[in-house]
Structure 1
Amino acid sequence: MDYQHIGVTVLWLFLYGYIIIGAIDFGAGFFAFHAKLTKQDHIINNLISRYLNPVWEVTNVFFVFFFVGIVGFFPDSAYYFGSTLLIPGSVALILLTIRGSFYAFENYGQEGKLSWLFLYGATGLLIPASLSTILTIAEGGFIKEDKHGVHLEWLDLLLSPYAWAVVFLAIVSVLYISSGFLTYYANKAKDNEAYKLLRQWFLIWAIPMIIICQFVFLSLRQHNETHFNNAITHFWWLFGLSTTFFIIAVTLIYLRRAHGLAFIMMLLQFGTAFFGYGISKMPYILYPYIDINKAVVNEQMALMLVIVFILGLLLLVPSLILLLRLFIFDADYVKGKK
């Protein structure tokens, strides 16, 4: 394995970390607003706040590492993605700013208002929806290059079944992952009322989760048949494992057993599917413009970037684990005693 493949693997780990941690955060915001709207906030919002307070500031670190790394390893990505993602990226940045403002008002204000909770919940779904366009555009077919530069074909993007399937997958995944983790968290806190409500939400969102995955595969076949054939021919076993982990996770939660193991199964479910998607897409980052075998920086720079990002991963993951042990999974903190 050469430097570019090692680099892509490390960056894919950063993106996977952001998807999981970000999904829990984004989904928690939506559930907090929904609970407030349905007068159930007294049941779960304290639990959600105990999770969000220690971790919300580190969520975007994984995201920053990924994009800095992509531009560092593959400079052409700055040209192609920078030109085409100006509007979606600006929208995502505005939504992230609104979300950050909520945290400030929530921490220093006297009482959270419904309008702020609405913005918090809405951005929890709109941010992953806007960011999902990156993966959609990377499949190719939406970018045109001519003598005037690179252009995003907006009409093709808006009318694409694959683009909408990915958007809905991002939203459903956020709600599924977040409800799964919060169910485990409520069980660990021995908060029976919150547990019953969150478990119900998890089981509800599990059904759309498996359905939308099928739509994504079917629409991928129509949009990029080469990628689809590579996925089902050479990496079908990764997607088979993902389905198996999904069944185990849902079964354990349904039977009210081994909630920690159920969440691990969810992590493996998304991990196998996410890496199956990424591996089957190789060697292209942006089809057909960015090939990792041709668009990488020089060998010496690639080596230095690999070292830096591996060290970053080795620093970030233990720090996150320490944060979880000190706060999120501390016996007294999880029960709201401190």
Structure 2
Amino acid sequence: MQFDGTTDALLAISIVWGFIFIYAVMASMDFGAGFWSMIYMNKKQLKATNIANRYLSPTWEVTNVFIVGIVVALFSFFPGGTYVLGTVLLIPGSIILLLLAIRSGFLVFSHAAKGYEKALTYVSGISGFIIPAVLILVLPVTHGDFVYQQNGAYQLAFAHLLLSPHAYSFMGFAIFSTLFLSSLLLADFSNVAGERDAYQVYRRNALISGPLALIMSFFIMMTMRTEANWLFTRMMNGLPWLVLSFLLFLIAFAALFLPNTYNKDRLGKPRLAVIAITLQYFTASYVYGRSHLPYMIYPDVTIQSGFTAPETFRALFISYIIGFIILFPGFYYFWKLFMKDRRYIKQHE
């Protein structure tokens, strides 16, 4: 497949897409953990809420770092494209920011205001369930069918978007992916913590939500064929990668039925499932992103038309490399401290 973009523009959009992928996976696990914490809040004996809170407590702020990175990278590398995106996504973007602010605020106060802990947990859990569904609407908007020009300005056909099966297939996929990814991670977390009941709950949730997420991905392709045929055709050119993505999903699903490494009295290798499903989402997102190029918003806004000056890009690129070198040890230490240290994972609340 031939691209018209320059090397600089392709490198820049790869950085942006990398931020998007990392945030999508981490945020799905984060939002899902908040939702499960709410669902099992009144079932203390399962300790499922304790496990979810133990994961949420250190990670939700780190996750927000990447959404800031996405916005900064978009504005820095593609100021022209970001202007159009910002104009078109004014309404859904405002909703997203409001929900993120509500969730972040209530997550903080749910631990400080003990008298209102349940109410605050419900608000943060519900908002965390809605946010992925609204966030993912950015993708169908960029397919072009919902964007039009009026008096020289780009506008979003919001009513058309709300009536689109394509948009709802994306929303369903986001919701079930959030539940699936978070269930897998919390199953792994529970397994390491030795919480048998919590592990069984999250394993069961993963077995239910995983196939539903897969079904919604098929709905996306079906509706894409009619509403964004240009993208569907390009994605079909990457069919071997899509097949690989499907096989990785099967590996992740099958891993939940393998003998457990840590505990012989239960089934499943959740760590293998988490790794396989992360690779599966990466493969699928690669096909989608590659097929979407060179368009940021089809058919008018491309990575070339919205790109910054080459000199500016090179300066920014060096800054990003330096920033990553500085931040990487911190992220590694965070992972080692909270995600690998069994003393933290096994602590009793």
TM-score class normalised by the smaller sequence: over 0.9
Q: Is the 8 A contact 2:47 2:198 kept in 1?
A: yes
Q: Which residue of 1 aligns with 2:39?
A: 34
CA separation in 2, counterparts of 1:228 and 1:310?
Answer: 34
TM-score (norm 2): 0.91
The equivalent of 1:2 in structure 2 is 7
Which of 107, 114, 127 is the aligned partner of 1:110?
A: 114
User: Corresponding residue for 2:49?
Assistant: 45
The aligned counterpart of 2:269 is: 258
Partner residue of 1:212? Answer: 216
Tell me, in whole angstroms, the C-alpha distance in 2 between the residues paired with 1:72 and 1:134.
19
Q: CA RMSD in A?
A: 1.7
Higher relative contact order (CA 8 A, sep 6+): 1
Deviates more, 1:244-253 or 1:109-118: 109-118
Aligned 8 A contact 1:32 1:41 in 2:
no
TM-score by length of structure 1 reads 0.94
- Whether the 8 Å contact between 1:144 and 1:152 is mirrored in structure 2 is yes
Q: Does 1:58 align with 2:69?
A: no
Matches within 5 A, 1:85-96: 85-96=89-100
1:82 aligns with 86
| Whole-angstrom distance in 2 between the partners of 1:149 and 1:298 | 23
Query: Do the aligned partners of 1:26 and 1:174 also contact (CA within 8 Å) in 2?
Result: yes
Query: Helix, strand or coil: the match of 2:299?
Result: coil
Which residue does 1:332 correspond to in 2?
Answer: 343
Q: Describe the superposition over 1:198-256 as per-residue Cα deviations: whole angstroms up to 9, x where unpaired.
A: 111110101101100100011111111111111112x1122111111100011011333
| CA pair 285-316 structure 1, distance change in 2 beyond 3 A | farther
**Is this contact kept in 2: 1:10–1:310, CA < 8 A?**
no
Change (3 A) 1:89 1:326: same
CA–CA separation in structure 2 for the residues paired with 1:336 and 1:168: 35
What percentage of residue pairs aligned between the two structures are identical? 32
In structure 1, the residue matched to 2:102 is: 98
- CA 1:13–1:7: 2 relative to 1, 3 Å: same
Cα distance in 2 between the residues matched to 1:238 and 1:318:
32
Count how many residue pairs are aligned between Structure 1 and Structure 2: 336
The C-alpha deviation readout for 1:104-150, integer Å capped at 9, x for no partner, is 21332235533212211111111111111111111111111122522
Cα distance in 2, alignment partners of residues 144 and 106 from structure 1: 43
The gaps in structure 2 that reach 5 residues or longer are 1-5, 259-266
CA distance in 2, matches of 1:74, 1:43: 46
Q: Which runs of 5+ in 1 are unaligned?
A: none
In structure 2, distance between residues paired with 1:189 and 1:225: 47
Paired AA for residue 138 in structure 2: I
**Structure 1 residues 61 and 246, CA gap change in structure 2 (3 angstroms):** same
Residue from 4, 19, 23 that aligns with 1:18: 23
Q: SS where residue 144 of structure 2 aligns?
A: coil
Distance (Å, rounded) in 2 between the aligned partners of 1:139 and 1:202: 30
Q: Displacement of 1:73 after TM fit?
A: 1.4
Q: How far does residue 103 in structure 1 lie from its aligned partner after superposition?
A: 2.1
- Partner in structure 2 of residue 312 of structure 1: 323
